[in-house]
Amino acid sequence: MNEDVELTEAHIVVQEDELSQSVIETELHRLETVLKLYFRKKYKLELCLKLKYGIGFNLNELKVKFPQYSLEDLQILSADFKEKRMNDIFGKVIQVFNKYDRKMKNGDSLRKWVNRKEEEIIEKMNIFHKHPIYHKKSLRMLFQVYFDQIMYSDNN
């Protein structure tokens, strides 16, 4: 280290912020890579995870990702599901998915499908690390950042 340079606390905070941002960007890139494995069902999976995690989306977003869906279908998918149980949420949206997708018997089948995919993603994300760092809560947090990033990039 150059003795002429005096590091202040501000320098350290900036370096920590840059490091944190770099780690987040790396993890987001890894998540995008993992999601590419689900290319046929990516939008459905993202929508279901948003529903599960209580992350909002709007009608315009749905129109872009699901152009084949009717306006009525999109309104069902974008309903306010706050304070609803997962079984109730997936029980409501399954009717829309069954019109356009492989038929699942009921909302519970969809809920179980989402839970399996979530576990698969956790497993795949942990491959990148020496020790498992992802679990449901940490994956949820990463997805919140991921979806925020997508919304931000779509608005710009």
Is the sign of the CA dihedral 90, 94, 97, 101 positive or negative?
A: positive
User: Two tokens at 138?
Assistant: 């940490």
| pLDDT at site 118 | 97
List, as own/partner pairs, every contact residues 103-109 make where C-beta atoms lie below 8 angstroms and the sequence separation is at least 24, other chains included: none
**For residue 2, is it within any domain?**
no
**For residue 4, is it within any domain?**
no
**For residue 39, is it within any domain?**
yes
> What CA–CA distance (Å, rounded) separates 96 from 132?
36
Residue (of 24, 80, 26, 25) closest to 54 by Cα position: 80
| pLDDT at site 79 | 87
Tell whether the model's pLDDT for residue 134 goes beyond 90.
yes
pTM over 0.85: no
- State the average pLDDT over residues 10-32: 73
> What CA–CA distance (Å, rounded) separates 3 from 96?
66
**For residue 102, is it within any domain?**
yes
**For residue 3, is it within any domain?**
no
- State the average pLDDT over residues 7-35: 73
Task: List the Cα angle 51/56/60 in 5-degree steps.
Answer: 110
Q: What b/e sequence results for 54-86 when a residue is b if at least 16 CB atoms lie within 10 Å of its CB, and e otherwise?
A: ebebeeebbeebbeebeeebbeebbeebeeeeb
Q: Please enumerate in sequence order all residues whose Cβ is within 8 A of that of 45, keeping only pairs 6 or more positions apart, or say none.
A: 35, 38, 114, 117
pLDDT per residue over 46-70, tens digit each?
999 999 998 887 788 888 888 888 8
Please provide the average confidence, as pLDDT, over all residues in the chain.
84
DSSP string, 25-80: HHHHHHHHHHHGGGTTTHHHHHHHHHHHHT----HHHHHHH-TTS-HHHHHHHTS-
The residue segments making up the domain with residue 49 are: 9-155
**In the chain, how many domains are there?**
1
| pLDDT at site 151 | 62
